[in-house]
Chain A
Amino acid sequence: MDKVKQYCTFYVDSSFFGVDVMHVQEIIRFQNMTRVPMADSVIKGLINLRGQIVTAIDLRRRLGLSSRPAEDEPMNVIIKTSDGAVSLLVDEIGDVIEVDEENYEPPPQNLLGKARDLTTGVYKLNEKLLLTLDMNKLLDFSAIKLN
């Protein structure tokens, strides 16, 4: 029936990723962050989202990509989880894209590293490829689960 899924897309280190739009609470621009000493290096800091304290996860580090140039301000993709909201820091926000299951393929064999563990598959779009992220695994370094 609803073969069409919607993905919220964004760019991280020039790769094109997508997260199921149902997981996304909102998208906000760069926020000042409070560093958390001694925390996992993936955790970039804490942001104040209208009085709620949200842990920000650096997606570049999580995916094992090169670090973001200091002058670039990341965007926040706020994800709903069972433990409140979590923010994913991404380079740039794309559109919300409807994809067709027909264009889906599992990640290619030669895709290695963390990117392979954390992606569920690839959608072949007309002009580029969309890697879909496995949110459960993405947040798996902690005990957080999606709603």
Chain B
Amino acid sequence: MDEDFEEIIQEFMIESTEGLDQLDRDLVELEQDPESQETIASIFRTVHTIKGTSGFLSFSKLEKVAHAGENLLSLIRDGKLKVHLGIVNTLLSMGDAIREMLDHVAIHKNDGNGDYSSLIEMITYLAEEDEPEASAPAAVVESAAAAEKPKQLAVEETGLPMPVAQPDVVEEADQTPPPALQVAQVETPKPPANTEPDPLSLLESKAKQVAEGNIRVGVGLLDKLMALVGELVLTRNQILQFTASQEDPALIATSQRLNLIATELQEGVMKTRMQPIGNVWNKFPRVVRDLATQCGKKINLVMEGKETELDKTLIEAIKDPLTHIVRNSADHGIELPEVRSASNKPEEGTLLLRAFHEGGKVNIEITDDGGGINHQRIADKAVKLGLLTKEQVENLTEREKTNLLFLPGLSTAEAVTNVSGRGVGMDVVKTNIEKIGGSIDIQSNPGAGTDIKIKIPLTLAIIPALTISGGGERFAIPQVNLLELVRLENKSEIETIQGTPVYRLRGNLLPIVFLDNVLELEASSVNKDNQFLDESVSIVVLQADDHQFGLVVDEINDTEEIVVKPLGKTLKDITCYAGATIMGDGKVALILDVMGIAHSANIINERHEKGIGETEKDLKSAGTERQNMLLIGVGESSRMAIPLSTVARLEEIQVNTLEKAGNRQVVQYRGEILPLIYISDILGDGSHAHNNNDEALKVVVYSENGKSVGLVVDNIHDVVEEEISVQHRMRRNGVIGSAVIQTKVTDLLDVPEIIRSADPSFYSSAGVN
């Protein structure tokens, strides 16, 4: 087929898809305010346009459906038919049918073979009811929640104001004319329309004006413009740096003008990519309505800050995560009306979406007044799934427990039923939001509701950054990660704990990371051990996730607007860099990835990390056991380990207190006779060089069933907590196997075996004592 036709279809598709989105919104709005002439006109316009164009393009099925809808709508518009739930539902399904056919058109260039005759019949039937009061809308509508609505509408048909206030969705609520006028339906809702006899034509012409003031621009073009502006900003930076060293007043004046213009242009182009978050939210009324109807819930969706703008790419990126959260809140958060009234809450649940700018970021909050999240159940679930140990969970705060929802493992289908339903794909939500440099946090009060906060940057392309130098190179640090700058007059103010540098920042220990070390730069003067203790040090305090750390750099330079450019694939693997940028002097500087640096400097790792990160890492080690082990020495060199849980006490016993009972050495210990077993005897590691009378024997007291025995060892080294993976290959008498503990091969003692071989009666219940 010829290209022109293709193009027309393409345009038709774009137009109609936009129209249908509008249609959904309008219909939900109409349901709230069935008298709104403006809404009805908007719906009518949309359907009319689709009908006209589809007729022109000879999509007859599409045209028929739209035509039937238009007929019904014209009756409503002319006031011959009152809107009721049945009509809204039918019109919504008409929208869905049209969408279905449009999808077909997009692929096959025809409107498909779907059978929509019953839909058309239904529409026609509704249109033919001349006595709306007489008809029973419930008969048409099969939905569960329908029962309440017709009553409400019936009240309205008598001309009384709406019994339930709906301040949220309906912006014109305050402009709703008094009942008398409503019945007459002559007056328009808006004051300026008073001079205009036909309100509809005015609304239509207004819409036309809006349309004429806009043009459609491809996103590709905008992206290109944005990239060019980025280049311009960089060039401007270069020119500014260059002219700073010049004295020609004309040149300086010109460059200053260039600076202003470039800044304004940058803002302007960024604005073209800005879209109100309402564009994403607009589909939520329908989503929530459908979900509420399905589950038999009553949900009032309130949206604040619809006009909050953010970059188009970000809008795209948050669309799915937001939808997911809203669905979750409506589906699992808000309870059934019965449950709600039982807990003294209004039957209708409220789902609040709020967006606002704060601190150069866009904040989005999704709040529901539903049942909240049972954090303990999530924690239990995490333990049950082996994502966390019991001890780890015990140390978590309530909020940390709630945020366990973001663990990948928790988002299984099973979790939906067990953990109040939340959690499906929440890890994906988190990943997607973090991908665009955002963060997400859940707070929940069981019984009172859930509050989810999302923070995302305004734009990604041009960011303010701090430039620093280290090891002779310049680096940029995104300002969002920056907390403060600290300058120490004296390097000795940095203390060390076991070789780890820390600094006391207003009383709190701040882990210190040397940039030169992390990036393996040639050691600069700053960190060359302790050579220059009196030298001053610059610390950049950074925030990575929940952790703060100080990055020691050679020099702190300046803040600058930088354009983030991606690094080639060759360098993608190095997690320390977020990208590169071109500085004012035309040279390239790397942008540090604060998270990456934190990781490679072990600021964030399984030991330090609290909460979520920890558990993610521990997943891997879930297979091996973590145990407390007592490390002992037997004989000259061999290291042995005993599970600490089997050890009652550690004692030192003077050799001269030893006594003999039969052929065995015993000692009086706490009023009892404690038989001693020399481990070296059992293991056959040669003779023990004891019985040097003034020496003390090191004894590990082992108790079981009220009986005790002392194991004589040569040395007691340490208690360690480690993951033990036992290798049984080196099994021998009294030894279970070997494991690597503290990087050394260590034999694991088989304590029961050792005791049995020395005292076969120890474990028999009939033992003497």
Contact A142 B582 (CB under 8 A): no
Contact B231 A37 (CB under 8 A): no
A94-112 to B contact mask, C-beta < 8 Å, 1/0: 0000000000000000000
Contact A142 B580 (CB under 8 A): no
Question: Would you call A55 an interface residue if the criterion is a C-beta within 8 Å of the partner chain's C-beta atoms?
Answer: yes
A134 to chain B, nearest CB (A): 17
Question: Would you call A65 an interface residue if the criterion is a C-beta within 8 Å of the partner chain's C-beta atoms?
Answer: no
Contact A34 B568 (CB under 8 A): no
With A48-B582, A53-B565 as contacts: A40 and B570 at CB distance below 8 Å: yes
Find residues 3-40 in chain A having any chain B CB closer than 8 Å to their own CB: 32-40
B229-242 to A contact mask, C-beta < 8 Å, 1/0: 01100110000000
Which chain A residues lie closer than 8 Å to B473 at the CB level? 34-35, 37
**Complex Cα gap A143–B570 (Å):** 7
Question: Would you call B181 an interface residue if the criterion is a C-beta within 8 Å of the partner chain's C-beta atoms?
Answer: no
B549-573 to A contact mask, C-beta < 8 Å, 1/0: 0000000000000000111111110
Which chain B residues lie closer than 8 Å to A144 at the CB level? 568-570
Contact A53 B582 (CB under 8 A): yes
**Complex Cα gap A36–B589 (Å):** 9
B557 to chain A, nearest CB (A): 15
Contact B569 A83 (CB under 8 A): yes
Contact B520 A32 (CB under 8 A): no
Residue from A35, A48, A52 whose CB has the most chain B CB atoms within 10 Å: A48
**Complex Cα gap A38–B571 (Å):** 9
Question: Would you call B353 an interface residue if the criterion is a C-beta within 8 Å of the partner chain's C-beta atoms?
Answer: no
Question: Would you call A77 an interface residue if the criterion is a C-beta within 8 Å of the partner chain's C-beta atoms?
Answer: no
Find residues 114-147 in chain A having any chain B CB closer than 8 Å to their own CB: 139, 141-144
Which chain A residues lie closer than 8 Å to B580 at the CB level? 34, 46, 53
**Complex Cα gap A142–B572 (Å):** 9
Contact B587 A32 (CB under 8 A): yes
Question: Would you call B155 an interface residue if the criterion is a C-beta within 8 Å of the partner chain's C-beta atoms?
Answer: no
**Complex Cα gap A40–B520 (Å):** 12
**Complex Cα gap A74–B587 (Å):** 17
Which chain A residues lie closer than 8 Å to B587 at the CB level? 32, 34, 48
Q: Quick one: which of A38, A53, A83 contacts B520, CB cutoff 8 A?
A: A38
**Complex Cα gap A84–B572 (Å):** 13
B577-590 to A contact mask, C-beta < 8 Å, 1/0: 10010100011111
A135 to chain B, nearest CB (A): 14
Q: Quick one: which of B235, B582, B590 contacts A36, CB cutoff 8 A?
A: B590
A43 to chain B, nearest CB (A): 6
Q: Quick one: which of B230, B235, B471, B570 contacts A55, CB cutoff 8 A?
A: B570
Contact B574 A39 (CB under 8 A): yes
Find residues 30-69 in chain A having any chain B CB closer than 8 Å to their own CB: 32-40, 43, 45-48, 51-55, 57
Question: Would you call B521 an interface residue if the criterion is a C-beta within 8 Å of the partner chain's C-beta atoms?
Answer: yes
**Complex Cα gap A43–B588 (Å):** 14
Question: Would you call A86 an interface residue if the criterion is a C-beta within 8 Å of the partner chain's C-beta atoms?
Answer: yes
Which chain A residues lie closer than 8 Å to B520 at the CB level? 37-38
Q: Which residue of A lies closest to B473 (CB)?
A: A35
Q: Quick one: which of A48, A57, A83 contacts B588, CB cutoff 8 A?
A: A48
B748 to chain A, nearest CB (A): 40
Which chain A residues lie closer than 8 Å to B471 at the CB level? 37
Which chain B residues lie closer than 8 Å to A83 at the CB level? 568-569
**Complex Cα gap A38–B520 (Å):** 7
Residue from A33, A37, A55, A84 whose CB has the most chain B CB atoms within 10 Å: A37
Question: Would you call B648 an interface residue if the criterion is a C-beta within 8 Å of the partner chain's C-beta atoms?
Answer: no
Contact B569 A37 (CB under 8 A): no
Residue from B471, B568, B571, B577 whose CB has the most chain A CB atoms within 10 Å: B568
Interface size on B, as a range, is: 20 to 34
A46 to chain B, nearest CB (A): 4
Question: Would you call B519 an interface residue if the criterion is a C-beta within 8 Å of the partner chain's C-beta atoms?
Answer: yes
Contact A142 B586 (CB under 8 A): no
Q: Which residue of A lies closest to B563 (CB)?
A: A51
**Complex Cα gap A36–B574 (Å):** 10
Q: Which residue of B lies closest to A40 (CB)?
A: B570
B490-526 to A contact mask, C-beta < 8 Å, 1/0: 0000000000000000000000000000011100000
Which chain B residues lie closer than 8 Å to A37 at the CB level? 471, 473, 519-521, 576
Contact A51 B589 (CB under 8 A): no
Contact A34 B234 (CB under 8 A): no
**Complex Cα gap A133–B473 (Å):** 33
**Complex Cα gap A33–B586 (Å):** 10
Which chain A residues lie closer than 8 Å to B568 at the CB level? 53-55, 83-84, 86, 142, 144
Residue from A32, A34, A55, A141 whose CB has the most chain B CB atoms within 10 Å: A34
Residue from A33, A38, A39 whose CB has the most chain B CB atoms within 10 Å: A38
A70 to chain B, nearest CB (A): 15
Which chain B residues lie closer than 8 Å to A43 at the CB level? 570-571
B701 to chain A, nearest CB (A): 52
Q: Which residue of B lies closest to A43 (CB)?
A: B570
Which chain A residues lie closer than 8 Å to B586 at the CB level? 32, 48
Which chain A residues lie closer than 8 Å to B566 at the CB level? 53
**Complex Cα gap A143–B568 (Å):** 10
A138 to chain B, nearest CB (A): 12
**Complex Cα gap A128–B586 (Å):** 40
Contact A36 B521 (CB under 8 A): no
Contact A46 B570 (CB under 8 A): no
Q: Which residue of A lies closest to B231 (CB)?
A: A51
B45 to chain A, nearest CB (A): 46
Q: Quick one: which of A38, A54, A55, A84 contacts B519, CB cutoff 8 A?
A: A38
**Complex Cα gap A39–B588 (Å):** 15
**Complex Cα gap A55–B567 (Å):** 8
Find residues 264-318 in chain B having any chain A CB closer than 8 Å to their own CB: none
B347 to chain A, nearest CB (A): 57
Q: Quick one: which of A34, A39, A55, A143 contacts B589, CB cutoff 8 A?
A: A34
Residue from B566, B572, B574, B588 whose CB has the most chain A CB atoms within 10 Å: B588
Contact A39 B571 (CB under 8 A): yes
B9-38 to A contact mask, C-beta < 8 Å, 1/0: 000000000000000000000000000000
Which chain B residues lie closer than 8 Å to A53 at the CB level? 565-568, 580, 582, 588
A28 to chain B, nearest CB (A): 14
Contact B519 A46 (CB under 8 A): no
Which chain B residues lie closer than 8 Å to A139 at the CB level? 570
Given A34-B588, A84-B568, 19 other A-B residues pairs in contact with their CB atoms under 8 A? A34-B473, A34-B589, A34-B590, A36-B590, A37-B473, A37-B576, A38-B520, A38-B574, A39-B570, A43-B570, A48-B587, A51-B231, A51-B582, A53-B566, A53-B567, A53-B582, A55-B568, A141-B570, A142-B568
**Residues of A near any B CB (own CB < 8 A):** 32-40, 43, 45-48, 51-55, 57, 83-84, 86, 139, 141-144
7 CB-based A-B contacts, threshold 8 Å: A32-B587, A33-B588, A36-B571, A36-B574, A86-B570, A141-B570, A143-B570
* The 8 A-B residue pairs with the shortest CB-CB distance in the complex, in nearest-first order: A142-B570, A37-B519, A34-B588, A46-B588, A55-B568, A51-B231, A83-B569, A143-B569
